[in-house]
Amino acid sequence: MSIAALEPTYNKPDDTSSYASPKRETGLDQFLTLLVAQLKHQDPFNPMESTEFTAQLAQFSSLEQLFAVNENLIGIQKSLGSQQEEDLIGLIGKTVKAEDTTILVKDGSVVSGSYTLEDRADVTIVVYDSNGQEVRTLSPGWKDAGDYNVEWNGRDNNGDMAEDGIYTFEVSAKDEAGHYVTVNTYITGEVTGVTYEYGLPYLMIGDRLVSTNYSIVEVRKTEETG
Model confidence at 4, pLDDT cuts 50, 70, 90, reads: very low
What pLDDT score does 59 carry?
67
- At residue 10, the pLDDT reads 39
The alpha carbon of 213 is separated from its chain's Cα centroid by a whole number of angstroms, namely 8
Domains along the sequence of the chain with CATH:
3-89 (no CATH), 94-221 (2.60.40.4070)
Q: For residues 120 and 143, is the Cβ–Cβ distance under 8 A?
A: yes
> Helices (DSSP H) in the chain: which residue ranges?
22-40, 50-89
- Does the structure show a pLDDT above 50 at 13? no
Q: Write the pLDDT tens digit of every residue in 46-80.
A: 655 556 656 666 666 665 666 565 555 554 444 33
Can you give the pLDDT at residue 155? Answer: 94
Q: Helix (H, G, I), strand (E, B), or coil: what is residue 151?
A: coil
Least confident residue range of 52-61, 103-112, 155-164: 52-61
Give residue 194's pLDDT: 85
Taking 50 as the threshold, does the pLDDT of residue 43 lie above it?
A: yes
User: 85: burial class by Cβ within 10 Å (0-12, 13-18, 19+)?
Assistant: middle
- Of 45, 167, 182, 158, the closest CA to residue 110 belongs to 167
